[in-house]
Amino acid sequence: MNKRLILSVIVSFLASSSLFAQVEETVPPLRNTHFITGLGGSYVNIIDQGISPLLYKGIGGGVVLGHLHETSRSIAQSTARFDFNNPNNSINGTDMYTFRLEGLYQHFFQLKNQSGKKLKILPGISGLGRWVLRDKLSYTNNKQHVETRFSLAPALLIKRPFQLWKRDFEIGMFSQLPLVTYATRPLFASTRFPASVNQDEIKFFDYLKKGEVVSLGSYFRLSAQTYLLYSFKNGNALRLDYFWMFESYNALNPIRTGEHGLMISTFLKL
């Protein structure tokens, strides 16, 4: 069943790419490439029943590096993000450290007959990979927990350029909804980093083992990222992003997380 689901999703994405890649022949050539650097903060809510059934809330910060390539046919953006958060529980006063590495690739297709419009809607696909370590500070045993995700999702970009005080701006929104995800969820954690299952040492690929392929019935993740972009005359730009995400995974030890984040990024023209 899972193999058929994955195959159908891949076939539909390939079919959509050939359909949406068509643009008007009168569209002038467009080719922009930027290097992205960003810095921001976030507020998270976590219920990780592999560690505790209680709700943990807290703030943290993160950095982003990325690459943006835009042509008259498509927009491709890839980013790598690192986050650190320190959520705590108001009932028992305990703290938790969370570390997250996340990679995101998004590819959007310029739709036919939209070249002359201000408001543009671009469908696309995205691939997301993430690695999360949670450390419960008050525990002396099974204090660390690791999870890994690889998701394939349809994506949507809505954007509109405008001018204010004779300066160029753009407002927009990204959104993704994973349909197929490979998830690992260990039952127990280690007493020290790197987190493992009854092992003192662990190799990188051990984090990818004993996972399962899940879809919307077991795993749900919805994210939206709105932005305001200010473009300089030399081709560089500044962007302010607001990020929102909700995630729920009904594994043996269920997990539910929510996040709000703000980030400011520089776009350096290459």
The DSSP secondary-structure symbol of 95 reads B
Q: How confident is the prediction for the chain on average, in pLDDT?
A: 82
Please give the pLDDT value at position 203.
Answer: 58
- pLDDT of residue 14 exceeding 90, the answer is no
- pLDDT of residue 214 exceeding 80, the answer is yes
- pLDDT of residue 264 exceeding 90, the answer is yes
Distance of alpha carbon 237 from alpha carbon 36, whole angstroms: 10
Closest CA relative to residue 123, chosen from 212, 227, 19, 197: 19
**In this predicted model, which residue has the larger pLDDT, 91 or 114?**
91
Give the domains, in start order, of the chain with CATH numbers.
Answer: 31-269 (2.40.128.100)
Distance of alpha carbon 79 from alpha carbon 268, whole angstroms: 14
- pLDDT of residue 223 exceeding 50, the answer is yes
- pLDDT of residue 48 exceeding 50, the answer is yes
Peptide bond into 194 cis (omega under 30): yes
- pLDDT of residue 181 exceeding 90, the answer is yes
Angle at 102 between CA 229 and CA 46, to 5 degrees: 100
Which three-class secondary structure state does DSSP give residue 37? strand
- pLDDT of residue 196 exceeding 70, the answer is no
- pLDDT of residue 52 exceeding 90, the answer is no
